[in-house]
Amino acid sequence: MSRKLRMGMVGGGTGSFIGDVHRRAAAIDGMIELVCGAFSSTAEKSIASGITLNLEESRCYGTFEEMIQKEKELPEAIRMDFVAIVTPNHMHFPPAKMALENGFHVVCDKPVALTLEEAEALQNIVEKSGKLFALTHNYTGNSMVKQAKAMVAKGELGKIRKIQAQYLQGWLSTSLEKTGQKQAAWRIDPKKSGIGGALGDIGTHAENLIEYITGLKIEEIAADLGKFGEGRILDDDGNMLIRMENGAKGSISISQIALGEENNLAIKVYGTKGSLEWHQENPNELITRWLEAPKKIFTPNGNGLHEEALEVSRIPAGHPEGYLEAFATIYKKFATHLSAINNGETIEKLDYPTVEDGIRGMKFIYAAVESDSNNSAWTKI
């Protein structure tokens, strides 16, 4: 019999933006419930956050180590099924490793780890454990992104020849990190963010979107990174040329100092028969242009959609679906897979990002940093 999956959370305490996003997204389809958590690096704050979320005080833990150990000791009928990790980058690997090695599945925010070495170690742990690992590259959950991927996979655009992607923000145009703003402070700190600043935070989304939609891997990159914020060690801007495995060419532009931009993630893919264009800030439209047909705009639940897009559209046409729904799609597909395993059913891997996508993202970050340090020399991923 199907039941709600029980989720534990690491990070995401009171005042956390991303923790609240994960909780709301996980709940949208009614398949998951939050039952426990270690929500802060301070035990007192962690327990207080859990109580605020209406959890039983006995399942509000001071540390993730305590949570995993105590939950493992609970009867199978009530213990958590999986752990959602919503911490800064430097705290992805330790709880993921411990959860997997103690028999729990994992959903983790991106990038997958602080370093490439951690990411590769985590991949080995996932394989050895036999547990599921989902990475929340949430934009792949959008219905129009699914439509774009299906159209490319079915050859409707012909051979892919050119790709342009961008992810532009302006929220770090000033020295926000010096005001005590936590979200800014950890992102510019290499000890917490890793070797990539904007690269890890938003660049990996652009990289992942390119590889997800086209089904092609980026083989080489020539990167010119910027550090415009006063005293910043990590990149807050960047422009990259890319070469794809099929010979296609492309470019990626990222920035967190593009004054006036909010969350301008967009992608254009050009083939021999047609092209497509998608903008995250207008997520319900997929613009397509054709060699021998008029321009067509696809919308959720509209005419001509492939099953891959229809199955993740939750509400009638004309009602906007966006960020939370795309996030929820990752959780829904992960939960569907995990529920099938719990019910003894055989199921193919469903369409959600995994640790392998995390490895690709980390290699992208490292190759871009290496290229930039060598005067934008072409660097293999």
The C-alpha atoms of residue 32 and residue 63 are separated, in whole angstroms, by 22
- pLDDT of residue 36 exceeding 60, the answer is yes
Q: Contact at 8 Å (CB) between 68 and 36?
A: no
- pLDDT of residue 244 exceeding 70, the answer is yes
Could you give the C-alpha distances from 114 to 94, 343, 359, in angstroms and in order? 10, 35, 11
Q: Contact at 8 Å (CB) between 123 and 360?
A: no
Taking CA 44 as the corner, what is the angle to CA 41 and CA 50, rounded to the nearest 5 degrees?
85
Q: pTM value?
A: 0.95
Average pLDDT, whole number, for the chain?
96
Which residue, chain included where needed, has tokens 């330790």? 94
Structure tokens at 346: 């055989």
Report the phi/psi class of residue 271: left, alpha or beta, with left for phi > 0 and alpha for psi in -120 to 50: beta
Interacting residues of 261 by C-beta distance below 8 A, sequence separation 6+: 168, 169, 170, 255
Strands lying side by side in the sheet with 296-298? 296-298, 286-290, 274-279, 264-271, 160-168, 249-255, 237-244, 218-226, 379-380
Structure tokens at 135: 């990475």
pLDDT in tens, 105-158: 999 999 999 999 999 999 999 999 999 999 999 999 999 999 999 999 999 999
Give the residue from 381, 371, 352, 356 showing the smallest Cα distance to 217.
381
Comparing 345 with 283, the larger pLDDT belongs to 283
- pLDDT of residue 1 exceeding 70, the answer is no
Count helices and strands (H / E) in the chain. Answer: 13, 14
Percent of the chain at pLDDT exceeding 90: 92
**Kind of pairing, strands 133-135 and 105-108?**
parallel
Query: Residue 37: is it exposed, middle or buried by C-beta count within 10 angstroms (0-12/13-18/19+)?
Result: buried
Question: CB pairs under 8 A, 24+ apart, for 238-243?
Answer: 238/198, 238/199, 238/203, 238/368, 238/372, 240/368, 240/371, 242/163, 242/210, 242/218, 243/218, 243/219, 243/378
> What does the pLDDT average to over 41-60?
95
Provide the 3-class DSSP secondary structure of residue 39: coil
Structure tokens at 12: 């995401």
The C-alpha atoms of residue 139 and residue 259 are separated, in whole angstroms, by 23
Other Cβ atoms less than 10 A from the Cβ of 83: the count is 27
- Dihedral of CA 344/345/346/349: which sign? negative
> What does the pLDDT average to over 206-225?
98
Give the residue from 329, 336, 350, 324 showing the smallest Cα distance to 23.
324
Domain 142-317+360-380 has CATH 3.40.50.700: no
Lowest-confidence pick of 83-87, 123-127, 155-159, 179-183: 179-183
Sorted by where each begins, the domain ranges of the chain are 5-131, 142-317+360-380
Say which DSSP state 60 is in: B
- pLDDT of residue 349 exceeding 80, the answer is no
Could you give the C-alpha distances from 11 to 23, 39, 94, 96, 364, in angstroms and in order? 11, 4, 12, 12, 26
CATH of domain 5-131: 3.40.50.720
Lowest-confidence pick of 18-22, 45-49, 318-322: 318-322
> What does the pLDDT average to over 352-369?
97
- pLDDT of residue 61 exceeding 90, the answer is yes
> What does the pLDDT average to over 20-45?
96
